[in-house]
Amino acid sequence: MLFWDFIEYRVLYFWFIGETMRQYERTVSCGAVTAAQLEKTVALCGWVHKRRDFGSLIFVDLRDRSGLVQLVFNPTTCPEVHKAAHVLRSEFVIAVRGMLTPRAPGMINPDMPTGQWEVQVESLTVLNKAKVLPFTPEDTNVDEEMRLKYRYIDLRRPSMQANLALRSKVVFAAREFFNNEGFLEIETPILTKNTPEGAREFLVPSRVAKGEFYALPQSPQMYKQLLMASGMERYFQVARCFRDENTRADRQPEFTQLDLEMSFVQESDIMELMEKLFASLWKKIFNTELVTPFPRMTFDQAFASYGNDKPDIRFETKIQECTSLFEKTELSFLRAVLDKGGKVGGLHIVNTHFARSDIDSWNDKAKELGAQGLLWVRVKEDGSLESPVAKFLPSTFFESARQLFSGFAPHSILFMVAGEYKATWETLGKLRLALGEQLGLIPQELFKFLWVTDFPLFEYDAQSNQWSAVHHPFTSPQAGWETQELSQMKARAYDVILNGIELGGGSIRIHDAQVQDKVFDLIGLTKEQAQNKFGFLLEAMELGFPPQGGLAIGIDRFIMLLSASKSIREVIAFPKTASAYDPLMESPTGVSNEQLREYGLSLIPKK
């Protein structure tokens, strides 16, 4: 090719590209048209949301991520374009050019941000046609697996796009915050070492080292502690994590957490930093002030009043121990419980009328939640007591109950459960939440944060006859642990709770090899096992290892709460089903024997 031929070719090429690009030109987004563009030509691209054919005029609502704008195809001004518009159907992708004009006074749509204007279309390009869809973005009654199979259609819903936009804003704002606080964002490996952090791990076979496996990280725990040993002092990461366990509404096999670690800190330093982060997010995202500091309560206080370690403090109803009301009871079922050291706990509900059928339903609910039954006592209009066991109640019951339950009076009812303390309080905690939900006691618009502290260091598993770490085995014990029984030891750990959901947790870490050895020993790890699994960490602890602490926030759960979504699947672009299946990619899938052989693997035939 001669030089001038080459130049001519390049000129023609760029002319062609320019003409092609002009078909796709976009000067403004659909939801962003304003009075500033009136009587001016605009170029728009998007999806056909609705098409209405009135014979002489065709109206189309064009949609993109920013919103909707109405298009008008007029046979008088642009007959060819009007004719072409007859083929348009829902979810066609099109590009148009035309003049933005005001709508007639009677045609203004006050429910649409762009409802005062419309585009008189002068050119139309169909960029992509759409077959009949399995469902439209407007359909509300769609099976969840169908939604996940066609997730790219499901994500066209404005609500889903709003959720992902919120997620993006929160993550970006968090990155800005930590950058301003002197943190370094550092990525840690995805292919890592199998470690016993609690949940089952996903294993990845090594092709090079046959018979050996990587693990996908449940968290960056080991690496962030080693980053502190590296002198990084302040680390954070938006980390992808993996756990091979059963999914539920607020859990997925792969998830994202906002992870951080700091050197030379105490619990209060981390809590204050996180409160500052949340306040910053509230200001940036919602333009409102978040009240800090957050309330704090110990694990023991939380369990005694709420029956769990993640209290929903949006409503006041608390569990009250009321064993003293029945100290001298002759009721055989209660006497048997109390003689075995059991306790009675109660919930006080006021200003609510319960029909007997309602009370029977709550009795059934209590049994479903694990109680043997529900004991109830209510105050009638005349101040007398009504209960299936009224004749067994002492004459002083009313006055004694008023001492324990403030406001115990007509229109009050006590729901009580008796049994072994831990199981009974767990049942009462679940019953409290069910009552709060059904009776409308929970103000849904509120956000209530809480810190829970002073967790047990260890918990006992009766099945395995073994003690294990409540958080993880790198959590530092509180002072005095050396002389305590395992059941008495407390951890320097803390969880942050929002509306009864654990957003995340953290702890001050062990930074002394001898303490770490002792903790491993207490949970049944031999020196050989500890060295095999954590030798690198134990060695680092003897080579200049600073005191440190950290925390991780579940981003999926956080966005679920902020968006008032029912499931984290609503705030993840491409989630799995409850059985960890991906209907869109149809994974997991089988692999060939040849691929397995490359990794030194073979499948055991199913029995």
Q: Pseudo-torsion of CA 530, 509, 218, 593, nearest 10°?
A: -20
In the chain (607 residues long), the average pLDDT of successive 10-residue segments reads 53 42 81 96 97 93 97 96 96 97 94 96 96 94 96 97 98 98 98 77 95 95 97 98 78 94 98 98 96 98 98 97 94 94 97 94 97 95 93 92 94 96 98 97 96 96 88 95 95 98 97 95 92 93 98 97 95 93 95 94 89
Contact 408, 379 (CB under 8 A): yes
Among candidate residues 377, 432, 439, the one with its CA nearest the CA of residue 409: 377
pTM: 0.91
Handedness of CA 121, 126, 128, 131 (dihedral sign): positive
| CA 29 centroid distance within chain | 31
Contact 379, 410 (CB under 8 A): yes
Contact 305, 311 (CB under 8 A): yes
DSSP collapsed to 3 states, 95-106:
EEEEEEEECCHH
pLDDT attached to residue 246: 73
pLDDT attached to residue 19: 43
| d(C-alpha 301, C-alpha 454), whole Å | 10
- Could you please report the per-residue DSSP string of 407-473? T--TTEEEEEEEESHHHHHHHHHHHHHHHHHHTT-S-TT---EEEEE--BSEEEETTTTEEEESS-T
Which residues of the chain are in CATH 3.30.930.10 domains? 160-290+548-575, 445-545
| d(C-alpha 169, C-alpha 172), whole Å | 5
**pLDDT tens digit string along 78-93?**
999 999 999 999 999 9
Q: Is 334 helix (H, G, I), strand (E, B) or coil?
A: helix
Q: May I ask the CATH class of domain 35-128?
A: mainly beta
| d(C-alpha 199, C-alpha 197), whole Å | 6
Q: Which fold has domain 315-439?
A: Gyrase A; domain 2 (3.30.1360)
Query: Helix axis angle, 555-562 relative to 158-180, nearest 10°?
Result: 120
Q: What angle do CA 55, 56, 61 make, to 5 degrees?
A: 80
Q: How many CB atoms lie within 10 A of CB 606?
A: 4
H helix runs in 118-260, sequence order: 144-149, 151-154, 158-180, 221-229
Which residues on neighbouring strands pair with residue 257, listed in sequence order?
239, 554
Q: Which fold has domain 160-290+548-575?
A: BirA Bifunctional Protein; domain 2 (3.30.930)
Strand-pair category, 449-453 with 296-298: parallel
pLDDT attached to residue 196: 56
User: Which CATH number describes the domain made up of 445-545?
Assistant: 3.30.930.10
- Could you please report the per-residue DSSP string of 157-186? SHHHHHHHHHHHHHHHHHHHHHHHTT-EE-
pLDDT attached to residue 20: 44
Longest dimension (CA), the chain: 113
pLDDT attached to residue 18: 44
